[in-house]
Chain A
Amino acid sequence: VSDKGELRLYVTGSTLLSERAIETIQWCLREGLGNVYACEVIDALERPDLADRDGIFATPTLVRRSPPPVRKLIGDLSDRTLVLSSLRLDAHLEDTAGERRAERG
């Protein structure tokens, strides 16, 4: 079982916006986000049931399903800095490491 946070990127087919969002999230994962998050790309046209469950309406949408709070980034993620800062990479690393130590202690 992975300790990583869970991201889901909802896209719709191969639109320009979908492609841009996928490109950005792949870049972010390579730039360090991949150490703390696992990301699944879901096509809402093929899995509207999952889109339903995650309450997706504008697309693309990147959902941080864990750790809480649930956070949604709506759009093609063209602002990479905003993506990284919204997922608060460093703070998240420190927080969960701290929590785990506390739980074990």
Chain B
Amino acid sequence: VPQHAWSPGTAGSGKTLFGVQYLVAGIERYEQGGVLVTFDEAAQEIVRNVASLGWDLDRHSRERRLAFVDVAAVAGEEVVEAGHFDFHGLLARVEQAIERTSPLRVVFDSLTGIFPQFADRQAVRRELHRVTSRLRDLGVTTLMTAERSEEYGQVARYGVEEFVTDNVIILRHPLSRER
């Protein structure tokens, strides 16, 4: 079983669905808890979007089998980068969620949402690396999604994500009948 997998896909290829399905399968089939860390969309937006597939994420959350860590940017908030930073705050929230749900599966959706927020990409790489090693120590399996800029090219937009993971799952959304 891969401990850290990473699934890049272009926009619309189903990265979020893939991540959510991974968590739901863990909960419903294997009685494994899950944590969903959302960078691109607010957690409640994802809950609404997948409800039509019959996935009741709110219920799983109430029953403490699923926890959300919402890191999506909030409209109207202004963010200024003012010096050196780490991701210990994120880790504190993820660890709190892990304690609450005792999960074996953690999904980050998506890494692409993190990078544009910071000028210091080297620091983002270093901190992501630290977050994944900590999660590895905690014995959870981490799945990270990321957006690709094109279907068949460089795997990751920021050329980093392969290094922090053990496995890569690529999602493609080919056009079957182009007009």
Contacts and interface: CB of A to CB of B under 8 A. Distances in A.
Q: A and B, one complex?
A: yes
Interface string A42-81: 0011001101100111111110000011111111111100
Interface string B4-20: 00000000000000000
A86 interface: yes
A2 B150 CA distance: 53
B69 interface: yes
A86 B87 CA distance: 22
Given A48-B93, A55-B74, A74 B82 contact: yes
A4 to B, nearest CB: 20
A51 B87 CA distance: 12
A96 interface: no
B88 A55 contact: no
A74 to B, nearest CB: 5
Given A45-B92, A48-B95, A57-B71, A69 B86 contact: no
A44 B95 contact: no
B110 to A, nearest CB: 14
A83 interface: yes
Nearest to A18: B88
Contacts of A86: 80, 82
A51 B82 contact: no
Interface in B61-110: 69-71, 74, 76-90, 92-93, 95-96
Contacts of B84: 17, 75-76, 78
Interface centre among A15, A21, A55, A77 (most CB of B within 10 A): A55
Interface of A: 10, 12-13, 15, 17, 20-21, 44-45, 48-49, 51-52, 55-62, 68-79, 82-83, 86
B71 A51 contact: no
Interface centre among B69, B88, B127 (most CB of A within 10 A): B88
Interface residues of B, number: 25
A83 B88 CA distance: 21
B118 interface: yes
A12 B86 contact: yes
A57 B82 contact: no
A15 to B, nearest CB: 7
A83 B85 contact: no
25 contacts: A15-B86, A17-B86, A44-B93, A51-B93, A55-B71, A56-B89, A57-B93, A58-B86, A58-B90, A58-B127, A59-B90, A61-B85, A69-B77, A70-B77, A72-B77, A73-B82, A74-B79, A74-B80, A74-B82, A75-B82, A75-B84, A76-B82, A78-B84, A79-B83, A82-B82
